[in-house]
């Protein structure tokens, strides 16, 4: 997804003279090419994420279309005050993009585990948040945001699902990966973690009585509500702390709308992660193995 996002920026720079891309201490390999193609539209501000965010706000206020970009927690948690006070308070047209959601940088330890960022950022007014599961979903998100002039946060993962959705509602950012008219159970995934099922046959009996839909946006729209209402049991799956992520946001939103369903959230317990390892290893430890999750869903009556 990162490579495709960089291509998106290069292509956008060719047709939009107001584009400015700011990164914090990135410049090797892929980004060398990005800066070469964008010319003066690309800025590397160094290890200064707070400055990057304040710069983005200022540039947007003089008519620039600004993108900030860096790794995981650094363009978000490290500079949350500047995102809150500068970008979001002034409702600036800034796209905050990170690569490394969840355990993408698992071998680097908890300082690089991006698993609390949704909880922190979703509490800030004006900010739209989305976590695509693939380039296909990312393209849909970017298309839906083309005319959105408020702050936006795009969480890219180093992993992605190889599957294409069987059916989707692009305008509503709802993507079905397993779809049947009969199931009473609905699994809603957020982000690339849906790829833990990529090595399984979705027609296998373990998926019986289960629809699977990916919802990359935190916004609860009418289409998602109608889908939820057609199911008796709702499950959410995310690579984020369950106490403050997609699932808790969904529960809060449905309660506000007086929609009450049996909901179980799969994700990371609200505690610091001590283990170090690759993404799949940490997912198995802190979220659970794919078969164990499916068996738990299947056991619900």
In a domain, residue 162? The reply is no
Q: What pLDDT digit, counting tens, does each position of 180-214 carry?
A: 888 899 999 999 999 999 999 999 999 999 999 99
**Do 94 and 123 belong to one domain?**
yes
The answer on pLDDT for 35 being more than 90 is: no
Listed residue (48, 112, 119) closest to 270, CA to CA: 119
Is the predicted pLDDT of residue 257 greater than 90, yes or no?
A: yes
- The tokens for 252 are 């809060």
Q: What pLDDT is attached to residue 31?
A: 74
Residue that finishes a domain, picked among 125, 156, 187 = 156
> Which CATH number characterizes residue 199's domain?
3.40.50.920
pLDDT mean over 14-28: 87
Say whether both 143 and 176 belong to one domain.
no
Report residue 27's pLDDT band, with 50, 70 and 90 as the boundaries.
Answer: low
pTM score: 0.95
- Give yes or no: residues 223 and 295 share one domain: yes
Per the structure, the count of domains in the chain is: 2
Domain identity same for 198 and 141? no
Confidence label for 105 from pLDDT (cuts 50, 70 and 90) = very high
Rounded Cα distance between 74 and 50, Å, is 9
Tell me which residue range forms the domain holding 272: 167-299
In a domain, 161, yes or no: no
| 185 and 136 belong to one structural domain | no
b/e map 223-239, b = 16+ CB within 10 Å? ebeebbeebebbbbbbb
Domain boundary among 106, 122, 156: 156
Domain of residue 145, CATH code? 3.40.50.970
* Residue of higher predicted confidence among 37 and 252: 252
Question: Does residue 253 surpass a pLDDT of 90?
Answer: yes
- 129 vs 300, which has greater pLDDT? 129
């Amino acid at each position: 997804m990162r490579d495709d996002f960089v291509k998106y920026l290069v292509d956008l720079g060719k047709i939009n003279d107001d584009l400015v891309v700011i990164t914090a201490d990135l410049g090797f390999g892929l980004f060398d090419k990005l800066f070469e193609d964008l010319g003066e539209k690309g800025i590397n501000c160094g290890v200064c994420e707070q400055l990057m965010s304040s710069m983005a706000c200022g540039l947007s206020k003089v008519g620039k279309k600004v993108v900030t970009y860096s790794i995981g927690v650094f363009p978000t948690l490290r500079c949350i005050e500047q995102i809150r006070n500068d970008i979001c308070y002034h409702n600036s047209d800034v796209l905050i993009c990170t690569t490394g959601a969840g355990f993408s940088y698992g071998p680097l330890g908890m300082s690089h585990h991006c698993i609390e960022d949704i909880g922190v950022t979703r509490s800030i007014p004006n900010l739209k948040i989305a976590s695509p599961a693939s380039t296909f979903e990312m393209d849909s998100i970017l298309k839906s945001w083309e005319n959105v002039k408020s702050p936006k946060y795009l969480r890219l993962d180093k992993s992605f699902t190889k599957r294409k959705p069987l059916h989707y509602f692009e305008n509503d950012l709802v993507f079905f990966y397993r779809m049947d008219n009969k199931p009473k159970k609905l699994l809603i995934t957020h982000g690339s973690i849906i790829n833990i099922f990529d090595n399984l046959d979705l027609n296998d009996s373990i998926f019986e009585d289960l629809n699977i839909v990916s919802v990359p946006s935190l916004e609860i729209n009418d289409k998602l509500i109608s889908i939820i209402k057609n199911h008796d049991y709702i499950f959410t799956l995310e690579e984020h702390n369950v106490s403050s992520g997609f699932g808790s946001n969904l529960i809060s939103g449905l309660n506000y709308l007086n929609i009450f369903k049996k909901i179980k959230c799969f994700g990371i317990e609200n505690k610091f992660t001590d283990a170090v390892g690759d993404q799949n290893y940490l997912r198995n430890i802190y979220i659970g193995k794919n078969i164990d999750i499916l068996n738990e869903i299947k056991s619900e009556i």
